[in-house]
């Protein structure tokens, strides 16, 4: 009989170890009942139990490595999804964007903010426009919206875009706003919540020409 025979009991008894490993990685308090990172860590700990070989080093060192690698992979996956949603292959600043995001863990906070609007990373990938000009127009429109405090307030209060008001105020078709509403909200949230790594990357894409565009239809 080994210490792993009752796996559920072993995991439960070493729950503090799992939580500490997550906290050390994220540099923040772990909410036990609402932590995606903790769920990933528990799965990783379970994987470590299944794949640990006796006599090949300390189990907990092995388990910690497995957990941290899973958390890093998850963070990089989210970075890649943001890249796909906002991507411009000519932007040299993306590497810095990814590194800053990993360092500050801004994506986790950003993801939580987006979830209050029922927007996921997959939604951003699914709705991201392929045409670079369309994408730039969305960026410009979204930034301009974020500068309007009244509209921004309505977006956060109602958790949706006031499409007619935006259409009238910015001379943009309702169809355009509806078609790109997830990405528009995502950018407005980034500016309102001051997600600096995303803001800097978007403005690099635009090359500083943030307010020059006056047409948004495509």
Q: Are residues 77 and 31 in the same domain?
A: yes
With beta carbons less than 8 A apart as the criterion, state whether 43 and 70 touch. yes
Rounded to two decimals, what is the model's pTM?
Answer: 0.54
pLDDT by residue (tens digit) across 61-97?
999 999 998 888 777 776 665 655 665 434 344 445 5
Taking the C-alpha atoms of residue 201 and residue 207, their distance in angstroms, rounded to an integer, is 10
Q: Are residues 74 and 130 in the same domain?
A: no
Domain span at 55: 7-82
Q: Are residues 37 and 136 in the same domain?
A: no
pLDDT by residue (tens digit) across 128-182?
777 778 888 888 899 999 999 999 999 999 999 999 999 999 999 999 999 999 9
Domain boundary among 30, 61, 82: 82
119: alpha, beta or left? (left if phi > 0; alpha if psi -120 to 50): beta
Q: Are residues 94 and 187 in the same domain?
A: yes
With beta carbons less than 8 A apart as the criterion, state whether 128 and 174 touch. no
List phi, psi (to 5°) of 16: -60, -35
Q: Are residues 76 and 105 in the same domain?
A: no
First-to-last C-alpha distance (Å) of the chain = 67
């Amino acid at each position: 009989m080994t210490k792993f025979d009752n796996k559920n009991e072993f995991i439960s008894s070493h729950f503090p170890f799992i939580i500490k490993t997550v906290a050390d990685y994220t540099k923040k308090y772990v909410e036990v009942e609402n932590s995606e990172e903790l769920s990933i860590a528990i799965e990783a700990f379970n994987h470590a139990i299944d794949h640990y070989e006796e006599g090949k080093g300390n189990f907990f060192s092995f388990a910690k490595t497995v957990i941290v690698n899973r958390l890093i992979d998850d963070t990089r996956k989210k970075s890649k999804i943001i890249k796909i949603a906002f991507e411009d292959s000519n932007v040299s600043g993306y590497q810095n964007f990814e590194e800053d995001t990993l360092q500050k863990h801004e994506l986790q906070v950003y993801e939580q903010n987006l979830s209050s609007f029922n927007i996921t990373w997959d939604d951003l990938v699914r709705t991201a426009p392929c045409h670079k000009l369309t994408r730039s127009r969305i960026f410009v429109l979204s930034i301009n919206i974020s500068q309007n405090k009244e509209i921004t307030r309505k977006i956060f209060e109602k958790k949706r875009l006031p499409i007619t008001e935006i259409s009238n105020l910015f001379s943009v078709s309702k169809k355009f706003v509806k078609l790109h509403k997830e990405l528009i909200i995502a950018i407005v949230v980034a500016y309102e919540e001051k997600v600096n790594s995303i803001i800097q990357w978007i403005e690099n894409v635009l090359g500083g020409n943030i307010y020059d565009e006056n047409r948004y239809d495509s």
